[in-house]
Amino acid sequence: MGFEPIKILYALGTIFIIFNVGMLIQGIVRKIGARVGKRYGIRFYQPYIDLIKNYVMRSNVTHGVMFYLGPVFRLTGGLGVFLFIPIIYGSQYFSNFAFAGDVVLVLYFIFFGSLGMALGAGEGGHPYSAIGVSRGLAQVTAAEIALVIAVIGVGIQYDTLSITEMVAAQQGGIANWTMVTNPLLTILAMLAFLGAMGRSPFDVVLAPQEIPIGPPTEYHSTFLGIMQTNRSIFPMAKTILFVNLFFGGATNWIVLILKIFIVYMWSVVVGVVFPRFRVDHSIRWWYKYALPLGIIAIIVTTLIAG
């Protein structure tokens, strides 16, 4: 493994595929959500339209350098996370730049975008941006606890931190998936997934009712476009990470998209069923329930691996 220029092209291809997958899943999910709520809902290709519209619109407003760079950080973070994850197991075309680092890199790179975004929003000068960021960061860091524990658990179980090797260890049928071999850890991970995706009951970040305006208001047109682009890649990247870690990864695109869809749908379903937490509830919840669960999971995993 190592860097070769051609891999940039492979990576661009992968990004293109996953971008579209992300856009479609977004549309479909919103549609399903509407149908469940007995509404007609949007067209499934609506995200494309929104995106194009945003990119076409022009805004000459900026609040400063960081405001301008915020979305750049955001998208760089999303793309970076994606690019450090191997997508299709065994494929030399779709392994991205996973050779630069392992799961730890991915775990920490997730913050790159959040941080940049938060900075950008901060410079916007809007008080609600700050409140939103404050809540968002608090929520993400709390939710990350479960994620980190889950990742460490997987690391313990397979005695590696390399995502590729983790996937490799799960090959050979559903019985080898982490989901089956270590269900407790998977439950924890899926809770973390809810938090990481900002889905209900952990959707405090946007909290539209409470913060009617904030980053989304200050960021519009092109800025919003870039953020929307990110929204179709970043969640996919996270989902793929979970697929790789807990659901055996994927050896081809079909399996991958299927698994992405299923995992993604999990968050949607839960979000429909549970009401939203207040942010301090959410934090307390992670510390009170997820953390002990994680500790138990780690102990169990140690026993399994040992």
Partner 1 sequence: MVSPIYIFIIALGIGFLLSLFDKAGRAVAMTIFYGALLAMAFISGQWLLHLLQGAEAEIITTAGFQPPFSINLKMGLLEAFFTFLINTLGFLAGIYLLPKFKSQKIYGMILFLMLIMGLNGLVMTGDMFNLFVFLEITSIATVSIIAIEKNLKSISAGFKYVIAGGIASAFYLIATIFLYRFTGVLNIAMMAETLNVASSQAVFLSVFILMIAVIVELKPFPANGWALDAYEAVDSGVVAVIASGTSAAMLFVFYKISPLLNNTLLLTAAGIGLATFTFSNLLALKQKNAKRLLGYSSIGQIGLIITAYALLVRAGYARNSEIVMLTTGGLFINHFLAKAGLFWLSGVVEKEKLEEWSTLRNNPILLFAFAVFVIALVGLPPFPGFFAKWQLVMTFANQGLFFWIGLILLGSFLEAIYLFRWLGKVLKSDLKAELKAKISQIFPILIYLLAILIGGGYLSRLINQGTSLSILYLPVLFIVFLFFIDFLPVAIKNTLVILVGSYYTYLIIPQLSGYRVMLGVIFLAGGVLLFIPGYFKRGKRTGFYPLAVMMYVGLAGLLISENTLQFFTSWELMTLGSYFLIIRGKKSEPHALSYMLFSIGGAFVMLFGFGILYYVNGNSMALSSLGNIESMAGIIYALLGIAFLTKMASIGLHIWLPGAYGEAEADVSPMLSAILSKAGMFGLLMLMAAIQTANLGSINLPYVLGWLGAITVFIGNLLAIYQEDAKRLLAYSSVGNLGYILFGLALMSHMGWLTSITYALNHFLFKALLFLAIGGVVYRVKTKNMYEMGGLIKKMPLSFVSVLIGIIALSGVPPLSGFAGKWLTYNAVLEKGWYLQGVIVIIGGLIAFLYCFRLIYAVFLGQLKDKHRQVKEAPVWFLIPQVILIGAIMLFSTYPAFILGPVGKMLNDILPENALIWENLDAYSIYGHWNGFLIMMITGGIFVIVFLWLYFLNRKAQKVKQFNIVYAAERPSRPELTHVGYNFFAHYKKALGSLSQPYVTKFWNTMADIFHSSAGFIRRIYTGDGQTYILHIIIFIVVVYFLTIGG
- Answer yes or no: are the C-beta atoms of 87 and 14 closer than 8 Å: yes
Binding partner 1 by CB under 8 A: which of 184, 190, 194, 226?
Answer: 226
Query: Taking the C-alpha atoms of 26, 29, 33 and 36 in order, what is their torsion angle to the nearest 10 degrees?
Result: 160
Q: Which residues fall within 8 angstroms of residue 273, CB to CB, at 6 or more apart?
A: none
Q: Which residues fall within 8 angstroms of residue 155, CB to CB, at 6 or more apart?
A: 103, 161, 166
| Shortest separation between residue 35's beta carbon and partner 1, angstroms | 33
Residue 214 DSSP label: S
Residue 167 DSSP label: H
**What is the sign of the dihedral through the CA atoms of 33, 29, 282 and 66?**
negative
Looking only at residues 107 through 126 of this chain, which bind partner 1 when binding is defined by CB under 8 A? 108-109, 111-112, 114-115, 118-119, 122-126
Q: Per-residue contact track with partner 1, 167 to 206, x per CB under 8 A?
A: ----------------------------------------
Binding partner 1 by CB under 8 A: which of 18, 83, 194, 260?
Answer: 83
252 lies in the site for partner 1, by CB under 8 A: no
Binding partner 1 by CB under 8 A: which of 29, 32, 42, 148?
Answer: 148
| Shortest separation between residue 87's beta carbon and partner 1, angstroms | 15
| Shortest separation between residue 57's beta carbon and partner 1, angstroms | 10
4 lies in the site for partner 1, by CB under 8 A: no
- Answer yes or no: are the C-beta atoms of 152 and 103 closer than 8 Å: no
| Shortest separation between residue 116's beta carbon and partner 1, angstroms | 9
Residue 289 DSSP label: I
> Is the peptide bond prior to 201 cis by the omega test (within 30 degrees of 0)?
yes
| Shortest separation between residue 178's beta carbon and partner 1, angstroms | 16
Nearer to partner 1, 114 or 181 (CB): 114
Give the Cα separation of 137 and 143 in Å (integer). Answer: 10
Span from 24-32, 177-185, 214-222, 233-241 in contact with partner 1 (CB under 8 A): 214-222
Binding partner 1 by CB under 8 A: which of 21, 87, 103, 260?
Answer: 103
| Shortest separation between residue 252's beta carbon and partner 1, angstroms | 25
Instruction: Using the structure block, give the residue that is written with the tokens 């005695």.
Output: 159
